Amino acid sequence: MAEGSAAIGRTVRAGMAGWAPALRTCWAALVAGAVLGLLPRAPGVAFLGLPLELAATTVAYGALYRHAFDGPAGFQGLRWGAVEWRLLAVQVLVTVILTVVMAVLLVLVGAVVVGVAKSNAPGLDITSVDAWRAALGGPGTLAASLPPLLSMAIMVWLFLRLSLAPAATMDLGRIQVLSAFGRSRGAVLVLAAAGAVLAAPAIILVVLIGYLRAIAGFAEGTLVPELVSVALVFFYLIPVWTAALVDVYRVQPAPPPGTLRT
C-alpha cells in the first residue's frame, strides 16, 4: 500500500513538475492545438470535428513528447514532422481499438439487459418505456446495472493500458500500440489515481464555470466558457498528463522484444 501511494505521489509530482517547462518550451504548439481544437465549434465546420481534434492533439502531444525525449524543438514546439505522423497514427489506432471494444461491449450489455428484462417480464413490450422501467426495477436493478459499470471499468482499464503507446513510439522511433501494451503492466492503478488527482483542479474549475454560467444566464456554446474549457485542456491537462505518462514510461520495465505481456 505504501509503495503504491509513493508511486502515485511520484507520478503526480512528475506531472506538475513538467507543467511549467512544457508551457515555456512548447507554448506555440499548444496555442496552435487550442486554435485547432476551437475550430469545430465554429459554424459550418462541425463536420470536420474528428480530424481537427486529432490534428489539435497531435500538434500538442508531438511538441510535448519531443520536449520530453529531447527531440527536434521546432519553433517553441510548433512543428509537424515524422514524430507527429507517428503519433497521429497511434491516436487513430488506439481510437479504432477502443471503438471496436466499446461496440462489442455495447452488444453484450444490451443482450444482458434484455435478458434481465425479459426474465422479469416475459411479456415485455419493447416499445414501451414504462414497461422497460418496470422490468428493470426491483430485483432486476442490480443485475441490469452491473454490466454497464463493468464495461466502463474495462474501457478505462484498456485506455490506461494503451496510454504509454505515444511515449514508446517517441522513444523507439516507430509506431508502438499493442507492442507497448506490456509496458503499462502493473501501472493501471497508479495511472488512474494520478490522473484523477491531476484532473481534479480542472474538474473543479469546469464545475465552477458551469455554475457561474447558469447564474449569469449564458447560453450553451457561449464563447467564453468554451475558451476556458479548451485552454484547460491544452495548457493544463495535456501537459501534466504527458509529463506523468513519460515518468511512468521511464520507470516501468520494458517487456521482452516480440512479446505482449498482459
DSSP calls for 76-95? TTB--SHHHHHHHHHHHHHH
Q: Is 73 exposed, middle or buried (0-12, 13-18, 19+ CB in 10 A)?
A: middle
Taken as a whole, the chain contains a residue count of 262
**What percentage of the chain carries pLDDT values higher than 90?**
48
CA distances from 12 to 6, 197, 254 (A): 10, 7, 22
The answer to the question of residue 36 being in a domain is yes
11-33 pLDDT tens trace: 999 999 999 999 999 999 999 99
According to DSSP, residue 221 is labeled T
The answer to the question of residue 261 being in a domain is no
The answer to the question of residue 244 being in a domain is yes
**Dihedral sign computed on CA atoms, order 87, 93, 94, 96:** positive
47-87 pLDDT tens trace: 777 888 999 999 999 999 999 998 888 888 999 999 999 99
The answer to the question of residue 258 being in a domain is no
Q: Between residues 119 and 100, which one has the greater pLDDT?
A: 100
Distance CA 19, CA 247 (A): 13
Band (148; pLDDT cuts 50, 70, 90): confident
- Please check whether residue 90 is in contact with residue 43, taking contact to mean a CB–CB distance below 8 angstroms: no
According to DSSP, residue 118 is labeled H
Domain that residue 164 falls in:
2-251
Give pTM, 2 decimals.
0.84
The answer to the question of residue 111 being in a domain is yes
For 127, the 3-state DSSP assignment is coil
- Please check whether residue 135 is in contact with residue 144, taking contact to mean a CB–CB distance below 8 angstroms: no
88-117 pLDDT tens trace: 999 999 999 999 999 999 988 888 777 777
- Please check whether residue 184 is in contact with residue 252, taking contact to mean a CB–CB distance below 8 angstroms: yes
The answer to the question of residue 34 being in a domain is yes
The answer to the question of residue 262 being in a domain is no
Count up the domains in the chain and report the number. 1
Band (121; pLDDT cuts 50, 70, 90): low
Q: Between residues 262 and 138, which one has the greater pLDDT?
A: 138
